[in-house]
Amino acid sequence: MRRFLDRFKFHGLFVKMFIIMVVSIIAVSILITWSTIRISERLFIETFSITNSKVISQINSGLESFNYSIITASSNILQNGTIKRFLTEGDSDSLTMFKAFYNMNLQMMQITSNLDAYEVSINVIGMNGRSYASNRSNWPISDNELKQHDMTAYTHQQPKRLLYHLDHGDEHREPTIVAAKALMDRATGNIYGSMYFAIRESEFRRFYASYTSIGNDVIVLNRSGVIVSSNQVNLIGQKANDLLAHAIELEEQALEYKDAYVMGKEQIVLSDYLSSYDLYLVNLIDKQLALGQLIDTKAIVLICIAIVTGALIIVFLISRRLTKSLTRLVKQIANISKYEFDHYVTVSGSYETRQLAQAFNSMLDELHDYVKELVQTQKRQRNAELAALQRQINPHFLYNTLASIKIMVQQSSKEKAAETINALISLLQNAIGNVNETISVEQELVNLKNYAFINQVRYGDRIKVSYFVAPDCMEAQVPKLIIQPFIENAFFHAFNIKPEGYIYVMISRESEALICEVADNGDGMRSEAGRKLPKSQSKRQLFTGIGVRNVHERLLLLYGEPYGVTITSEIGGGTRVRIKLPFIQTKEKTKF
């Protein structure tokens, strides 16, 4: 076990790289496959819905032609005086009755001839008890049953409309779709009979049967949710309230289609309201069956597995080859004991590994020379670090300032650009100068104003800076860049929530001490009582490397324990920085 762990330790990079590549390849493959399938499904559904919408329109066109023929026939019956007399006059002698039946038959045969394209039978019943049927075998229902049928009552309730009904049928007759209308005298408004146009459901089904297939069904619903006609014969006469709700939703929201769980399946539902029939024509597409024909999931999964396996083999070989020389180098370095600088590593492997080995060997050579020097300069290291921090200018500050100047020049703001350049030159001259040099408060104020001016040029004057300096403090000497980090901190951290505000710089004398204060009315922060510097104030600054904690440590190093930086703040109430240092009137150099 120990041996295995040691072996794993030296091959850790290879294992990590390989695991990351495996996870990445599998994740990418799964995402691409899933996205491809989803896009294909959506594209298929969109295309299928457009095609089936056209099919529904064609079915609707055929049904409208049929309805127009029925309306024409019903209008002819209403306008025919012979038919009206037959259905309204009373009984008379046999010769008159024979003539009436004969004339009635002639008129009805003529009207029926207009419906020869459809297997439709016409039944007419008058209030005087007389009736006529063009084809009793097509709809074998007795006159007495017809008079008592619900459709007759509905027809008399709405005498001006042609209403379509479903006669469920029985063991003697198959389901029949009947268009019924009352015979009403237009002058008096009296109803003198009813007429019925009957077509067997199997014949009505021919209007759309050629457009159906397995998983692609057509259902005709009435407003009660009853299935009037369907290529699924077993559904005829059943109630489908959920399907009716989807059809109504599609109509009201003008949707082209919707995905829904209907009749125990995930279906694509398309619908069209047949206003002439007062029926809903619904097209149901079995989503699983339709997509199954489009997408072979098993084949896709196998292809993905094959691709991932091949990719993993290639990744394994490449990763192993790339890390082998590096692993060998790591083993050699790990076997070198501490302070054994004469054990050089073998230079071999890839270009990168050879460079690392050569650099390591060169490092061993140089370490001999550096060890003594490092020991001797250890005591001065902290001072050197502070000096280096003071010299360091963040390149982003320079880039952004120069970019702002470039924009001003392009916008012909040459005077403002010149002012900004002068401010930057002055700021850099004082920042890159002798780190041990102190300057007067007056010169420090010039630097602060230049820094504030550059920031206001870059970010606008939403943050205003005011200066309050006692006249007797203008010649006092302070270390360079002792106040600037706090102005910078206020600019970039004090107004993240508040959109604007003020920064106040106040310099005064208290006995033999010089007090420099920087206060803002910004967001504030949490500050523990008795704590000189909150932890959040140690962040790296944007102009120089000097952070606020470095300033405090620098003052302690220069002047001792009584001096330093104290910060007080509260959330929403702003922050106040108090810098205390000795009041020195004459300019003198101070060592760190």
Residue 331's pLDDT is 72
CATH class as words, domain 385-582: alpha beta
pLDDT at residue 253 greater than cutoff 80: yes
Interstrand relation of 216-222 and 279-286 (parallel, antiparallel or unpaired): antiparallel
Antiparallel, parallel or unpaired: β 501-510 and 463-469:
parallel
Strand partners, 351: none
Over range 357-370, report the average pLDDT: 76
Q: What is the pLDDT of residue 5?
A: 53
Q: Higher confidence at residue 449 or residue 48?
A: 449
Q: Tally the C-alpha atoms within 13 A of residue 345's C-alpha that lie toward its C-beta.
A: 28
Nearest-angstrom CA–CA distance, 149 and 168: 12
Task: Write the pLDDT tens digit of every residue in 373-411.
Answer: 764 554 455 455 545 555 555 666 777 778 878 888 887
Could you tell me the residue ranges of all domains in the chain?
Answer: 1-48+213-277+287-335, 80-211, 339-374, 385-582
pLDDT tens-digit readout, 148-158? 888 899 888 98
Select from 3.90.1330.10, 3.40.980.10, 3.30.450.20, 3.40.50.10890 the CATH code of 80-211.
3.30.450.20
Is the pLDDT score of 122 beyond 90? yes
**Residues recorded for the chain:** 592
> Assign residue 412 a region: left if phi > 0, alpha if psi is -120 to 50, beta otherwise?
left
Q: At what angle do helices 395-410 and 441-459 cross, to 10 degrees?
A: 60
Task: Please indicate, yes or no, whether the overall pTM of this predicted structure exceeds 0.95.
Answer: no
pLDDT of 59 reads: 87
Q: For position 545, what pLDDT does the model report? A: 46
Q: What is the mean pLDDT of the chain?
A: 80
Tokens of 506: 């106040």
pLDDT band at residue 26 using 50, 70 and 90 as cut-offs? confident
pLDDT over 90, % of the chain: 17
Give every strand in the sheet of 163-167, ordered side by side: 131-133, 120-126, 191-200, 176-184, 163-167
Sheet holding 513-520, edge to edge: 463-469, 501-510, 513-520, 574-582, 564-570
Measured from the Cβ of residue 269, the count of other Cβ atoms closer than 10 Å reads 22
pLDDT of residue 530: 44
pLDDT at 9 over 60: no
Q: Which of 210-214, 252-256, 314-318, 510-514 has the highest mean pLDDT?
A: 510-514
Tell me the three-class secondary structure of 238-263, residue by residue: CECHHHHHHHHHHHHCCCCCEEEEEC
d(C-alpha 179, C-alpha 197), whole Å: 5
Residue 535 has pLDDT above 90, yes or no: no
What pLDDT score does 340 carry? 61
Long-range pairs, 179-188, Cβ under 8 A, ≥24: 179/67, 179/70, 179/74, 180/151, 180/152, 180/154, 180/155, 181/74, 181/155, 182/155, 182/156, 182/158, 183/77, 183/78, 183/84, 183/87, 183/124, 183/126, 184/78, 184/159, 184/160, 185/84, 186/78
Mean of pLDDT values over 296-316: 80
Alpha-carbon gap, residue 222 to 166, rounded angstroms: 9
Tell me what pLDDT residue 438 has.
Answer: 78
pLDDT classification of 507: cutoffs 50, 70, 90: very high
Q: pLDDT at position 432, please?
A: 66
Do 152 and 160 contact (CB within 8 A), yes or no? no
pLDDT number for residue 385: 52
Lowest mean pLDDT of 2-6, 71-75, 192-196, 257-261, name the range: 2-6
- pLDDT bracket for residue 556 (50, 70, 90): confident
**Range of lowest pLDDT (235-244, 525-534, 563-572):** 525-534
Give the list of residues 6+ apart from residue 9 with CB closer than 8 angstroms, or none: none
411 is written with which tokens?
A: 């916008």
Residue-level pLDDT at 8: 53
Q: Which of 279, 287, 238 is nearest to 261 (CA)?
A: 287
pLDDT at 536: 43
Residue 342 has pLDDT above 70, yes or no: no
